[in-house]
C-alpha cells in the first residue's frame, strides 16, 4: 500500500560519473552525453549533465587503462603490517602476483592477467576491497564522487 500523503523525493539534477581515464576533453564529453541522451526532447538534460560531470581522481595516466594501473600501484603499496591477520596470507600472495605484471600496453588487461595467476573469479572486487580498506589513496580517488553524493543525499532529507 502506498501512502498518498508521502512525499516523492528525487535528485532533481542529473549527474554523470566517469572512471577517470575516458572522455577527458570537453568534445569527448559532449560526444558521450549526446550518445547516451538522444532526441530533441533531451536537449535540456544534455545541457544540464554537461555541467554535472564528476570523475574518479587518478594520479597517473599510462597509455590505456589508467584506473587499473592506479589500482595496481595502490594495491601493491599497501603495508602488509596493516592487513588483518585473516587477510594477510591472501594479500601477500595476490600482491606477489600483481608485482609480476609489468609493462602492459593496455592496463585494462590488468585484472585479467592477475586472475590468470590468482584464479579468483572476483579478483577486481578483492583488489578494490583491499584498497578501500587499507590504502589512503582510496579517499582521494573517490572524493569528488563521494562529496557529490553527500550533497545530493542531504537534499533528499
pLDDT tens across 23-81, in order?
Answer: 667 777 777 777 777 777 777 777 777 766 666 666 665 565 578 888 999 999 999 99
For 125-131, what is the mean pLDDT? Answer: 97
* pLDDT reported for residue 62: 53
pLDDT tens track for 11-26: 456 666 666 555 667 7
H or E element that contains 148: helix 137-156
* 39 belongs to a structural domain: yes
Same domain, 25 and 86: no
Same domain, 75 and 114: yes
* 151 belongs to a structural domain: no
Same domain, 44 and 70: no
Same domain, 38 and 85: no
pLDDT higher than 90, residue 123: yes
Same domain, 71 and 123: yes
Same domain, 70 and 137: yes
pLDDT higher than 70, residue 108: yes
Long-range pairs of 107-116 with CB within 8 A, sequence gap ≥ 24: 107/62, 107/63, 107/64, 107/65, 107/66, 107/68, 107/69, 107/72, 108/64, 108/65, 108/68, 109/65, 109/68, 110/65, 110/68, 110/69, 110/71, 110/72, 111/68
Spatial distance between the Cα atoms of 133 and 75, rounded to a whole number of angstroms:
10
pLDDT tens track for 70-105: 899 999 999 999 999 999 999 999 999 999 999 998
Same domain, 109 and 71: yes
* pLDDT reported for residue 4: 39
Spatial distance between the Cα atoms of 108 and 63, rounded to a whole number of angstroms:
10
Range of the domain at 133: 66-141
Unique residue bearing C-alpha cell 528525487: 10
* 27 belongs to a structural domain: yes
H or E element that contains 53: strand 53-55
* 150 belongs to a structural domain: no
Same domain, 50 and 71: no
pLDDT higher than 90, residue 10: no
The answer to whether 123 touches 115, Cβ cutoff 8 Å, is yes
* 1 belongs to a structural domain: no
Same domain, 82 and 110: yes
List helix spans (H) across 17-65.
26-36, 43-50
Spatial distance between the Cα atoms of 61 and 47, rounded to a whole number of angstroms:
28
Q: Which residues pair with 18 in a beta bridge?
A: 55
pLDDT higher than 60, residue 148: yes
pLDDT higher than 50, residue 2: no
Same domain, 51 and 77: no
* 19 belongs to a structural domain: yes
Map residue 15 onto helix, strand or coil: coil
Same domain, 124 and 96: yes
* 29 belongs to a structural domain: yes
* 122 belongs to a structural domain: yes
Domain count across the chain: 2
Amino acid at each position: 500500500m502506498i501512502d498518498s500523503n508521502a512525499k516523492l523525493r528525487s535528485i532533481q539534477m542529473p549527474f554523470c560519473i566517469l572512471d577517470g581515464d575516458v572522455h577527458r576533453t570537453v568534445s569527448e564529453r559532449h560526444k558521450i552525453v549526446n550518445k547516451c541522451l538522444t532526441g530533441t526532447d533531451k536537449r535540456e538534460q544534455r545541457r544540464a549533465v554537461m555541467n554535472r560531470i564528476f570523475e574518479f581522481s587518478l594520479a597517473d595516466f599510462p597509455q590505456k587503462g589508467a584506473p587499473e594501473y592506479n589500482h595496481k600501484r595502490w594495491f601493491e603499496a599497501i603495508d602488509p603490517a596493516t592487513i588483518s591477520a585473516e587477510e594477510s596470507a591472501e594479500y601477500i600472495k595476490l600482491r606477489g602476483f600483481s608485482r609480476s605484471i609489468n609493462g602492459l600496453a593496455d592496463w585494462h588487461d590488468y585484472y585479467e592477467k592477475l586472475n590468470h595467476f590468482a584464479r579468483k573469479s572476483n579478483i577486481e572486487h578483492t583488489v578494490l576491497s583491499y584498497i578501500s580498506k587499507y590504502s589512503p589513496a582510496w579517499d582521494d580517488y573517490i572524493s569528488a564522487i563521494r562529496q557529490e553524493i553527500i550533497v545530493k543525499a542531504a537534499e533528499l532529507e
